Amino acid sequence: MVKNLLLFCVFLFTINMQAQEDAWVYFTDKPNEATALANPLSILTQKAIDRKQNHGVVIDSRDVPVHEPYITDLKTQPGILVLAKSKWFNAVYVRGNDVQSINDLLNLPYVDSIDFADNSLDTVSRPFTVQDKTNIEDEAIVFNYGDTQNQVEMINADDLHLDNFTGEGITIAVMDAGFPNVNTMSGFQRLRDNNDLLGGYDFVNRNPDVYANTSSSHGTKVLSTMAGFVQDQYVGTAPDASYYLFITEDVTSEMPVEEMYWVEAAERADSLGVDMINTSLGYTVFDNSNYDYTPSEMDGNTAFITRGASIAVEKGILVVVSAGNSGATSWQTVGAPADSPDVLSIGAVDAAENYVAFSSQGSSAQVGYQKPDVVARGGAAYVISENDNIVQNNGTSFSGPIACGGIASLWQAIPEASPTEVMEYVRQSASQYTSPDNFLGYGIPDLALARTLSLEESVLEDFRFYPNPVQTNLHVEISTQFTEVELKIYNQLGQKVLQTDLTSESNTIDVSSLSSGIYLLKISTGNHSKTYKFIHS
């Protein structure tokens, strides 16, 4: 009798588990939007506001948090569990006891639409609109790289280090599965001594102690390729950058909610003023096959995490993503979010600079753009394990951060460049830029050459404006080599308040209608731009 009861209970539990469904629930509005935008420091750090201003990024409704009373009420609905939230999408991720319990949420006045993880259950199309994108020396450091010499020198990050560009001043958010012992092991002692370990959060377990989750050491190894340092034995590609550590991957399962965790972490990174995101995660298929993506959906605008990564780029963050390890499988192509045209996707080569079979490839799903973008060493790459040992591991999980750290060092050298400009310099410097393919993309980047390209293409250096402060007319001196340049002025909220075209003959702007305060002046020609501050008195 006891045995039968146990079997009956197990049977009921199995039925209930099978009936559960996951979905994104999108809200109609953010009632506190106007108040929040009028006081941006209430929703963003000053560092985040400064980064947006420097890159001409507008602070908009997506920066405003989800209205908490909506979430509180949603949690009281029968059969509904709220697992994550996203301000960028104004949505939450829920798990319902069944399809009906989720569909019933449409009766709530603040619910706009529902998008099931199982697309076959959707009654309306996925609610997503693509917004228009608005297009910032000391003595040489001589490292003995030890085991990392090949992977650092392959992308010429060592040349940047020699000029004292080691990532100082660049903040990187690392999204991964776990970071055990980063706070204690000697391989990160330099990082801690320099106060460059800024904190973190476990979005899976909702725990501010990011080191408590020891279910995976993947993030520890990933971080080591950038920030690790062992005297004369190991040097990462950005040993002096600053880092936030975020756990978004649940290694006990594979579910779409992890995409939502990732977007939450990206939103947190944006609000903290992070410059770069590195992620070695990718999503293709799930434990519930009804939620699976297909290779043809790796098109840059289908996967939720991909769309979130594109918004992160819109917000002024440079996003570096590992391409994936599916090159030798039937899936073959890059996963999400590496399929985004806006991120820099990194494939893998070995120590001899040859393509490694596991590295995910580009495909016809990516229409009009190249994936992967570039490659770095991912075959038998050197990492530091959670046991503080230098070991070798395979995977684009490591080629991605190796490249990311090198790019952080590059960006330190060219701080006036925008994220999109930095990415383009990296592509242009790569070994097969003029003949990319689906295996290596544009090839192996030469980051020292990328720096040179940026200096050669700083076509706006011969430029000045006056007076500053200004009351009525702002005069802009433009070189006669330009027939026309575009000028935009932004206020302190990042909102564009004036736009005009200038020439060497017509170069005076009437700014008398502007209120007193600090403004950003952005002048652009072609793919190049420079941003300056001025005061209207």
Q: In this structure, are 72 and 167 located in the same domain?
A: no
| 292 and 410 belong to one structural domain | yes
Kindly state whether residue 51 falls inside one of the protein's structural domains: no
Q: Are strands 197-202 and 171-176 parallel, antiparallel or unpaired?
A: unpaired
- The pLDDT of residue 465 is 82
The predicted structure's pLDDT at residue 93 = 96
- Is the preceding omega at residue 467 within 30 degrees of 0, hence cis? yes
Residues 195 and 340 grouped into a single domain = yes
483 shares a domain with 441:
no
Which domain covers residue 116, as residue numbers? 2-30+65-121
Tokens standing for 183?
A: 């706070």
Would residue 265 count as lying in a domain?
yes
303 Cβ neighbours under 8 A, 6+ residues apart: 259, 283, 293, 297, 336, 337, 339
Residues 183 and 275 in one domain: yes
How many residues comprise the chain?
Answer: 537
Question: What's the pLDDT score for residue 14?
Answer: 38
Per residue of the chain (537 residues), give pLDDT as tens.
Answer: 333 333 333 333 333 445 799 999 999 999 999 999 999 999 999 999 988 888 888 899 999 999 999 999 999 999 999 999 999 999 999 999 999 999 999 999 999 999 999 988 876 443 443 333 333 334 456 799 999 999 999 999 999 999 999 999 999 999 999 999 999 999 999 999 999 999 999 999 999 999 999 999 999 999 999 999 999 999 999 999 999 999 999 999 999 999 999 999 999 999 999 999 999 999 999 999 999 999 999 999 999 999 999 999 999 999 999 999 999 999 999 999 999 999 999 999 999 999 999 999 999 999 999 999 999 999 999 999 999 999 999 999 999 999 999 999 999 999 989 999 999 999 999 999 999 999 999 999 999 999 988 875 555 555 678 888 888 998 887 766 666 778 888 887 778 899 988 876 777 889 999 988 888 888 776 655 667 778 888
Helices (H), 20-108: 33-38, 46-54, 68-74, 99-103
Choose the final residue of a domain: 421, 456, 491: 456
> Could you give the strand order of the β-sheet that contains 197-202, starting from the edge strand earlier in sequence?
197-202, 242-247, 171-176, 276-279, 318-322, 344-349, 374-377
Whether residue 136 is contained in a domain is answered as: no
CATH at residue 23: 3.30.70.80
Identify whether 103 is part of a domain. yes
Alpha helices (H) in 414-461, listed in sequence order: 419-429, 447-456
Beta pairing, strands 91-96 & 80-86: antiparallel
- The model's pTM: 0.79
Residue 411 belongs to a domain: yes
Residues 411 and 473 in one domain: no
CB 362 within 8 A of CB 371: yes
Last residue of a domain, one of 420, 435, 456: 456
Asked if 531 and 407 sit in the same domain, the reply is no
Q: Is 409 helix (H, G, I), strand (E, B) or coil?
A: helix
User: What's at 442, amino acid-wise?
Assistant: Y
Q: Based on the domain organization, do 386 and 507 belong to the same domain?
A: no
Say if residues 345 and 323 touch (Cβ distance below 8 Å). Answer: yes
DSSP-assigned beta bridge partners for residue 113? 26
- Residues 425 and 294 reside in one and the same domain: yes
Q: What is the CATH number of the domain that holds 354?
A: 3.40.50.200
In a domain, 35, yes or no: no
Query: Do residues 273 and 352 both lie within one domain?
Result: yes
Whether residue 239 has a cis bond before it, omega within 30° of 0: no
Under 8 Å CB-to-CB from 115, ≥6 apart: which residues? 23, 24, 26, 122, 126, 127
16 located within any domain: yes
**467 shares its domain with 437:** no
Q: What is the pLDDT of residues 330-379, one digit of tens each?
A: 999 999 999 999 999 999 999 999 999 999 999 999 999 999 999 999 99
Q: Total domain count for the chain?
A: 3
pLDDT of 482 reads 63
The answer to whether position 224 is within a domain reads yes
From the list 339, 332, 356, 270, the residue with the least C-alpha distance to 298 is 339
Give CA 134 to chain center in angstroms. 17
Whole-number Å distance between alpha carbons of 117 and 290: 8
CA 486 – CA 474 distance, rounded (Å) = 15
Task: Give Dmax over CA atoms of the chain in angstroms.
Answer: 96
In the block, tokens 């979010």 appear at 337
Residue 133 region, left (φ>0) first, then alpha (ψ -120 to 50), else beta?
beta
Task: Name residue 125's amino acid.
Answer: S
What local confidence, expressed as pLDDT, does residue 466 receive?
Answer: 85
Buried residues in 333-371 as b, exposed as e (16+ CB within 10 A): bbbbbbbbbbbbbbbbbbeebebbebbbbbbebbeeebb
Nearest Cα residue to 62 out of 43, 45, 83: 43
Pair 434, 496 in one domain: no
Q: Which two tokens stand for residue 210?
A: 């990011």
CATH, residue 531: 2.60.40.1930
